[in-house]
Amino acid sequence: MFQEAPTLDFADVTGQSMAKRALEVAAAGGHNVLFIGAPGGGKTMMARRLPGILPPLTFDEALDVTAVHSVAGLLPAGAGLQTARPFRAPHHTISNAALVGGGPQPRPGEVSLAHHGVLFLDEMLEFSRHVLEVLRQPLEEGHVAIARAARTAVFPARFMLIGAMNPCPCGYAGDPTRVCRCTPPQLDRYHDRLSGPLRDRLDLTVDVPAVPIDALYESNAAESSTEVRARVVAARARQSDRYAGSGITTNARLTTAMMARHCAIDRSALAVVTAAMRQLSLSARGYDRVRKVARTIADLAGEDRIRAEHVAEALQFRRLA
43 and 89 belong to one structural domain: yes
Q: Per-residue pLDDT for 123 more than 50?
A: yes
Contact indicator for 210, 41 with CB cutoff of 8 Å: yes
230 and 211 belong to one structural domain: no
In a domain, residue 3? The reply is no
147 and 262 belong to one structural domain: no
What pLDDT does residue 34 have?
Answer: 96
Query: pLDDT category, 277, cuts 50, 70, 90?
Result: confident
Q: 177 or 21: which carries more pLDDT confidence? A: 21
In a domain, residue 192? The reply is yes
210 and 247 belong to one structural domain: no
Question: In Å, how far are 258, 277, 290, 314 from 255, measured between CA atoms?
Answer: 5, 21, 14, 19
CATH number for the domain harbouring residue 117 = 3.40.50.300
Supply the mean pLDDT for the chain: 87
In a domain, residue 2? The reply is no
Q: Per-residue pLDDT for 220 more than 80?
A: no
In a domain, residue 1? The reply is no
258 and 189 belong to one structural domain: no
First vs last Cα of the chain: how many Å apart? 42
How does pLDDT run across 162-206, given as a tens digit for each residue? Answer: 999 999 998 888 777 788 889 999 999 998 889 888 988 899 999
14 and 144 belong to one structural domain: yes
Q: 219 or 178: which carries more pLDDT confidence? A: 178
Indicate the residue among 217, 252, 267 that finishes a domain: 217
In a domain, residue 64? The reply is yes
Query: pLDDT category, 78, cuts 50, 70, 90?
Result: confident
66 and 165 belong to one structural domain: yes
250 and 178 belong to one structural domain: no
Q: Per-residue pLDDT for 69 more than 50?
A: yes
Q: 245 or 278: which carries more pLDDT confidence? A: 245
Indicate the residue among 187, 217, 247 that finishes a domain: 217
Indicate the residue among 217, 233, 266 that finishes a domain: 217
241 and 111 belong to one structural domain: no
How does pLDDT run across 29-39, given as a tens digit for each residue? Answer: 999 999 999 88
Structural domain for 173, as ranges: 10-217
In a domain, residue 4? The reply is no
What pLDDT does residue 86 have?
Answer: 95
Q: Per-residue pLDDT for 306 more than 60?
A: yes
Query: pLDDT category, 7, cuts 50, 70, 90?
Result: low
Query: pLDDT category, 1, cuts 50, 70, 90?
Result: very low
200 and 281 belong to one structural domain: no
Query: pLDDT category, 282, cuts 50, 70, 90?
Result: confident
In a domain, residue 165? The reply is yes
Contact indicator for 269, 308 with CB cutoff of 8 Å: yes
Question: In Å, how far are 14, 37, 167, 212 from 41, measured between CA atoms?
Answer: 10, 7, 12, 10
154 and 293 belong to one structural domain: no
What pLDDT does residue 143 have?
Answer: 92
User: Checking DSSP bridges between strand 118-121 and strand 160-165, what pairing results, if any?
Assistant: parallel
Query: pLDDT category, 271, cuts 50, 70, 90?
Result: confident
Can you tell me the distance from the alpha carbon of 80 to that of 269, in angstroms, rounded to the nearest whole number? 48
Query: pLDDT category, 4, cuts 50, 70, 90?
Result: very low
Q: Per-residue pLDDT for 2 more than 60?
A: no
Give the pLDDT mean for 234-247.
Answer: 94
Number of domains in the chain: 2
284 and 305 belong to one structural domain: yes
User: Checking DSSP bridges between strand 143-147 and strand 204-207, what pairing results, if any?
Assistant: unpaired
CA triple 285-29-270, angle to 5 deg: 50
